[in-house]
Amino acid sequence: MANIKQLSEINERLVGGHRLCGGCGASVAVRQILMGAGPDTEVVVAVATGCLEVSTTALPFTSWDCSFIHNAFENAAATITGVEAAYKALKATGKIAKDKEIKFIAFGGDGGTYDIGLQALSGALERGHDFVYVCYDNGAYMNTGIQRSSATPSHSWATTSEVGAVIPGKPERRKDLTSIVAAHHIPFAAQASVGNWKNLVEVSEKAFNTPGPAFLNVLAPCPRGWRYTSEKTVEISKLAFRTKFWPIFEIENGKWSMKEIREKDLLPIEEFLKTQGRFAHLFKPENEHLIAGIQAEVDEYYDYVKSMCAK
């Protein structure tokens, strides 16, 4: 990986002037991930309908300084793999020079990836296309009003999992999408975070340089949906890692490896939860017992990832 000075000299492919919120984790993720493609590589980007698309392509303007395709909410993976297949066909017929290199990448939020885009993603992975798919995971359908998704954490507030006397937020546990993708036996998958830029650029570089499908699931906090002030995005991302809420790991050709938390850095889950208004109800006396359940969930998942790495 290039050093930070060299990375800072790469021309931005997502440039300023977009309408994304201050502190948006998605914009941070996209900029860091596209650095992993290197300075000279031509990139084709597809983006599913969502915050990232509507806020960067307000007609007649665009913030994308690269080839860009907008597609429907559910079919980013199908779109980008169709373009990749066309590129191979044009090379085979001599209409594109055989030494011309183009990288293909799709971005989708958790609504368009965990939920309604999962079928298209699964099919693209199974077919073995040479592309990178990135889920910027902000834990809800943020673009359409902060409705819960299957990535929304248990007992979190969302507009379709309101907090009340009977149900204290979303009752269901969040889906483990990274493991679902790994079960497709693709060459490379990783779970990363905007709170660790070095790791995110490194795994992005690996993803771009992997022949065949690669997948990145990136924690991208949302100030509006998570209810925190915009300057705390990176701080909250770091807490997600230190409290086991968001383990950082990768699966390369079936081999799992993870970034383990040093004992001195380990924190209880309360330290992550208390930074966000979506969990404020958990600190009321009648709901405090739910925090122990969330702690048990994150401990169990962290131990599961460690066990996979030990195999």
- pLDDT for 6: 81
Instruction: Tell me what pLDDT residue 8 has.
Output: 81
Radius of gyration of the chain measured on its C-alpha atoms: 19
| Domain made up of 4-310: CATH architecture | 3-Layer(aba) Sandwich (3.40)
Can you spell out the DSSP letters for the chain?
---HHHHHTSPPSB-S---PPTT-HHHHHHHHHHHTT-SS-EEEEEEESSHHHHTT--TT---BSSEEEEE-TT-HHHHHHHHHHHHHHHHHTTSS-TT--EEEEEEEESIIIIITTHHHHHHHHHHT-S-EEEEEE-SSBTTTT-B--TTSPTT--BTTB-B-SS-BS--SPPP-HHHHHHTT--SEEEEEETT-HHHHHHHHHHHHHSSS-EEEEEE---HHHHT--GGGHHHHHHHHHHTTSS-EEEEETTEEEEEPPPGGG---THHHHTT-GGGGGGGSTTTTHHHHHHHHHHHHHHHHHHHHHH-
* CA dist., res. 253 & res. 116, Å (int): 27
Hey, where are the domains in the chain?
4-310
Span 248-269, pLDDT tens digits:
999 999 999 999 999 999 999 9
Which range among 39-43, 62-66, 148-152 shows the weakest confidence by mean pLDDT? 39-43
Task: State yes or no: pLDDT of 10 exceeds 90.
Answer: no
Residue 7 has pLDDT above 90, yes or no: no
Q: Please, what sign has the CA dihedral across residues 34, 36, 40, 42? A: negative
- Region 87-98: mean pLDDT is 96
- From 38-42, 82-86, 187-191, 242-246, the region with the lowest mean pLDDT: 38-42
Residue 1, pLDDT > 80, answer no
Quick one: what percent of the chain has pLDDT higher than 90? 94
